[in-house]
Chains A and B, each alone.
Chain A
C-alpha cells in the first residue's frame, strides 16, 4: 500500500507538491510513482532559473528498465534543485517525500489542477 501524506497536494501524473510559507512549491514524485519506476539510477534535473509551463517535461527519472518524464506541476521558475540526487538517485526510492524531493519552483498561478490526498488515493487505488 502506497503512502500518501495528507499535508501534500498531488497531480494525476504522480507528483507531489508542498507549498511553504513563502509560497514556493517543492516538488517530488509519490511513493506510488517511485515503486512503479523501481530503482531510479539517474536523474536529469533542470537548471536553476529555467522556466516551465504546467505540463512541460522538466526532468527525467531513469530506472534500469526505462526513462520516465517528470512534468512541471505548475507554471513557474526553478529556484532550487536537489543536488544530492546526482550522487544518490536512490533517495527517490528510499525517501520520496523527504530526501528525494526534486525541485523548488516559484509559481504565479494558484494550484488549481491539483488533487488532495483523498482524491489521489482514489486515483491510485
Chain B
C-alpha cells in the first residue's frame, strides 16, 4: 500500500526533510536536525504539519451528553470556545486514544484523534451513539492541522491573522479553527481547516520566520513534558489511572470505563513514571528497568532530552519518586532514578 501524503509534501522535500512512514503517512521526521529543531521550539517558534491527525465533528441536540459519555471529561462544564485534553476509554478503562475536545459552539464539537486511531475512534463513536441524537462526521481526509509552537508563536499568529488565543481557548475564522493548544508544552496554537487553505497558512508562517519541525523533535518535545504517545505509552491495555493522568477524569459524570477505574482506584498498580538517567547515555523504548537487581519493567518511551542533555524515559513502575534504579542500555546497567514528570 502506498503512503498517504499531506498537500505540503513538495514543500517538505524542498526544505530538505527526511520523510518516513508514520501511521501510513509519509511525514517529515526532520528537516535540519532534531536538536536544532527542538531548540527552535523551546527558544523561538516552530511550525509542524500534523495533517495526518484526525478531525471528527459531532453535532446534534445530544452532543454534550454523548461526548461526556464517550470521554473522561464532563462536557457540561465546557463553555463555547473551550478546549480540553481527555481520554477515550473502553469498558475496561483501557485507553483507546487521547484527544482534545473542542467546543466550537453550542451546536458543534470536534475531536482530534491520532492518525493511527481515526477509523477505530470513528467506529467507536458510531457504535456507542444509538441512544443519542447526534451526527458524527469524520472529515479527517479533507482537513489539515498545523501547529505553531514556541515563545515567539503568539507574535507570529498576531502577524499572520491579526489575532491571539488564550491557552485551551479557540476562535473561528470562516472555516478555520485556531486554538491555544499543542503538544510541546510551549505557548502557541494549532490551526485546523479545509485542506485547500493549508499552503496559505504554512507559507505565510514560514515566511514570517517559523521554523519547520519534524516528528523527531515533536517526540523529544512531548517527552520532556511527560506527554503520552499513542501506540507507545499506551497501546490498548493501559488505563488513565495507570498513565498517571487522573487529572483528565471528571468523576462526577457517567462515562464508558468509569466503573473499571473506580475498582482500580482501590488497588495498587504500577504508574507511568519519569526515569532520569544519571550516567551518560540515551534511553530507548524497550530498555529494561531494574530495581534491587530484579527486572521490574521496560521503558515505553526513551530518548535524550536535548534541553537537559540527559537520557529520559517513561515506564510503568510502582516505586517512589527518587528511587534508584538501573536501566539496561545495550547490555550495560546504567544508573538512573525515578523522577516526577514533566522533566522540565
Contact = CB atoms under 8 A, between A and B. Distances in A.
Interface of A: 38-39, 41-42, 44, 60, 62-65, 67, 86, 93
B304 A41 contact: yes
B94 interface: no
Nearest to A86: B280
Given A38-B34, A62-B304, A86-B280, 18 more contacts: A39-B33, A39-B34, A39-B36, A41-B304, A41-B306, A42-B281, A42-B282, A42-B304, A62-B281, A63-B34, A64-B34, A64-B35, A64-B303, A64-B306, A65-B34, A65-B216, A67-B282, A67-B284
B30 A41 contact: no
Contacts of A62: 281-282, 304
Range, interface on chain B: 10 to 19
A42 to B, nearest CB: 5
A93 B284 CA distance: 21
B149 interface: no
Contacts of B29: 65
A39 B344 CA distance: 21
B187 to A, nearest CB: 24
Interface string B270-290: 000000000011101000000
A41 B33 CA distance: 12
A86 B280 CA distance: 9
B35 A39 contact: yes
Contacts of A42: 280-282, 304
B220 interface: yes
B30 A38 contact: yes
A83 to B, nearest CB: 13
B255 to A, nearest CB: 37
B33 A38 contact: yes
Contacts of A67: 282, 284, 330
A101 to B, nearest CB: 20
